Amino acid sequence: MQNIYGYTINDLEKYFESFGEKKFKATQVFEWLYKKRVTSFDEMSNIKKENQEKLKADFSINQLNIIDKKSDIDVNKYLFELSDGEKIEAVLMRHDYGNSLCVSSQVGCNMGCSFCESGRLKKVRNLETYEMVLQILMVKKDLNIRISHIVLMGIGEPLDNYDNVVKFIDIINSPKGIDIGSRHITVSTCGLVPKIREFINLGKQVNLAISLHAPNNELRNKLMNINKAYPIEEVIKVVKEYIDVTNRRVTFEYIMLKDVNDQVNHALELAKLLKGINCYVNLIPYNETSHIEFKKTGQEQIMKFYDILKKNGIGVTIRREFGSKVKAACGQLRAEHKEVA
């Protein structure tokens, strides 16, 4: 039985039309699910009884199970249990511009980035579309807040779960659904070049973020296995294609690792690499974990790196630190629970 939260409004229109009903019934169902937030088909009072019964026979409306939750200043981290017993995470971050939720797209990750906790526990499976949608709905319900921004930057590589992620974006972007604007949705990728190219051709106005983390192939090969398949030159080429087609600015994510990628020569090399590209660099203070040997770059060195990029005409921000006390780095809470189990 399919979970109804995995169906786009177009999917539901075709469903209703398949047994002779008007397609506007799909809009009614969407509004019950996403505006009124009912969790039973019986509560959909403007849907006739026989259609309620058919919906119950054809779809589940099951939710995720919150099995752990940790809070710190401006951050809430959730550990969800899925129907098969697997576990995923989502992190809610409060910014001055709104509430942003970092969503997982896979159970585990096969990309093998050496600094990443979620990649330490290998990919078990892709998340279904409904399992991504429900991360948003469960957090909204638990905190009774509006979530204004979505970032696909949790456990997993989103473009390695391409079809389900595209459906997820359709559902959360729909005005009849969760109604999160395209420009408030960010897809982060470590650099799956063919999938980025496919994503460009969809014509969606969502934001693209590239996990770069190194200014050259030699260093990036050591940090990120994906670079051996799609080296920096190919990533930069497809980013330029994305900008040409969408006229959107791209974010390059850069985790600051002490004495690894945070030196003056790295900053100068990065500035040279990105010169002339409509982008900005987001410098990310590293969230240390007991399982991985990398250490966090000190604030003084981060500022030195920042200043070099600025002086060389590269837009740059430093990500505000969230939740070091609540294991907010990707995969930390899931890994902790696996070890206890």
Give the pTM.
0.93
> What pLDDT, in 10s, does the model give residues 293-341?
899 999 999 999 999 999 999 999 998 876 555 554 555 555 555 544 4
Residue 214 has pLDDT above 70, yes or no: yes
Q: Which CATH class is domain 65-340?
A: alpha beta
Per-residue confidence (pLDDT) for residue 124, from 0 to 100: 95
Could you tell me the two tokens for 15?
């469903």
Cα–Cα distance list, 335 to 85, 87, 101, 196, 229 (Å): 14, 9, 20, 29, 27
Of residues 134 and 112, more confidence is placed in 134
Give the residue range(s) of CATH 3.20.20.70 domains in the chain.
65-340
Q: Which has the closest alpha carbon to 82: 341, 334, 340, 265?
A: 334
Rounded Cα distance between 147 and 136, Å, is: 8
Among this protein's residues, is 218 annotated catalytic?
no
Q: % helix / strand / coil in the chain, to the nearest 5?
A: 45, 20, 35
Q: DSSP 3-state assignment of 137?
A: helix
Indicate the Cα dihedral angle 319, 325, 331, 333, nearest 10°.
-160
Catalytic residue among 53, 81, 330, 336: 330
Catalytic residue among 13, 21, 89, 269: 89
Rounded Cα distance between 98 and 35, Å, is: 19
Out of 3.30.70.890, 1.10.150.530, 3.40.50.300, 3.10.450.50, the CATH code matching 2-60 is 1.10.150.530
CB count in 10 Å sphere of residue 36: 10
Among this protein's residues, is 330 annotated catalytic?
yes
Give the residue range(s) of CATH 1.10.150.530 domains in the chain.
2-60
Per-residue confidence (pLDDT) for residue 322, from 0 to 100: 64
> What pLDDT, in 10s, does the model give residues 233-283?
999 999 999 999 999 999 999 999 999 999 999 999 999 999 999 999 999
